[in-house]
Amino acid sequence: MNIIVTETKEQLSEQACSIFEAQVKADPESVLGLATGSTPLGTYEKLIEGYKKGNADYQRVKTLNLDEYVGLGPDHPESYRTFMEENLFGHLNIDAANTYIPDGTADDLEKECLRYEEVIEKVGPPDIQLLGIGENGHIGFNEPGSSFDTPTHIVELAASTREANARFFPSIEDVPKQAVTMGIRSILKSKRIVLIASGERKARAIERLLAGEIDEAFPASALKNHDDVTLIVDRNAYQFVDGKG
């Protein structure tokens, strides 16, 4: 695993942005794997700034998102489709038809999982996948205990994940209990993975990622089975690894 430690969250976002821009410049038809959560927001802001400056052209880029809440559609303010439109897609010259996110409102969710897996096969795998990490080590919405050998599937969200994400909803009762997520098997198909983590809240997860064993109880540890992972982490999230916290 390549590790880049930055002093600030801003620098972390700049680093992640430049990796993605370099990918798109090298191949204008790149497939980008994208993530939600607050950590990627800075990276997306930098990508938008870069686009406005003419650093990269997204016309032929395709994107595959990791996950979506069950029951939340494009018209819901907290759906991941809305998040992506507001924080990235709506500001780039990307073709909406090339942006893929699981449909959490599908009548038959099992079928939707199969359909999304086919999309990944057809469009992907991503040239680069951006990942955040949950405090409990989840990636996408693969919660602790998820098999590393799963494709896109429906998950029951951990109570701690619903609590962590409650800040985006009027109350905890409004946080969906389920999500559709790419499985760890699908995520590991990406050619390259960039994991970003910022702030003290993530420091224990980063410590465990780097010092711990590969273990289904800690989903992010599956990334150690991939040969091209870059971890970009700010000093606060790295504090228990370098002992400077």
Active site residues: 67, 136, 138, 143
**Does residue 200 touch ligand GLP according to CB under 6 A?**
no
Closer Cβ to ligand GLP, 124 or 132, answer by number: 132
What residues from 122 to 181 belong to the interface with ligand GLP (CB under 6 A)? 132-134, 140-141, 161, 165
Pairing of the two strands 128-131 and 31-34: parallel
Closer Cβ to ligand GLP, 55 or 160, answer by number: 160
Sign of the alpha-carbon dihedral angle for 139, 225, 115, 92: positive
What residues from 38 to 57 belong to the interface with ligand GLP (CB under 6 A)? 38-39
Closer Cβ to ligand GLP, 50 or 132, answer by number: 132
Contacts with ligand GLP by CB under 6 A: the residue count is: 14
Q: Measured from the CB of residue 73, what is the shortest distance to ligand GLP in angstroms?
A: 17
Binding mask 218-237 for ligand GLP (x = CB under 6 A): --------------------
Candidate list 33, 37, 50, 102; residue touching ligand GLP; CB under 6 A: 37
What residues from 60 to 79 belong to the interface with ligand GLP (CB under 6 A)? 66-67
Report which of 206, 149, 174 is spatially closest to residue 78, judged by C-alpha positions.
Answer: 174
Q: Measured from the CB of residue 176, what is the shortest distance to ligand GLP in angstroms?
A: 11
Q: Peptide bond preceding 125: is omega within 30 degrees of 0, i.e. cis?
A: yes
- Cβ distance 84 to 99 under 8 Å? yes
Q: Which residues contact 179 (CB under 8 A, 6 or more apart)?
A: 67, 68, 69, 70, 104, 141, 154, 155, 157
Closer Cβ to ligand GLP, 56 or 234, answer by number: 234
Q: Give residue 75's identity as a one-letter amino acid code.
A: D
Report which of 37, 39, 32 is spatially closest to residue 231, judged by C-alpha positions.
Answer: 39
Closer Cβ to ligand GLP, 168 or 240, answer by number: 168
Q: Give residue 64's identity as a one-letter amino acid code.
A: L
List of residues contacting ligand GLP (CB under 6 A) = 35-39, 66-67, 132-134, 140-141, 161, 165
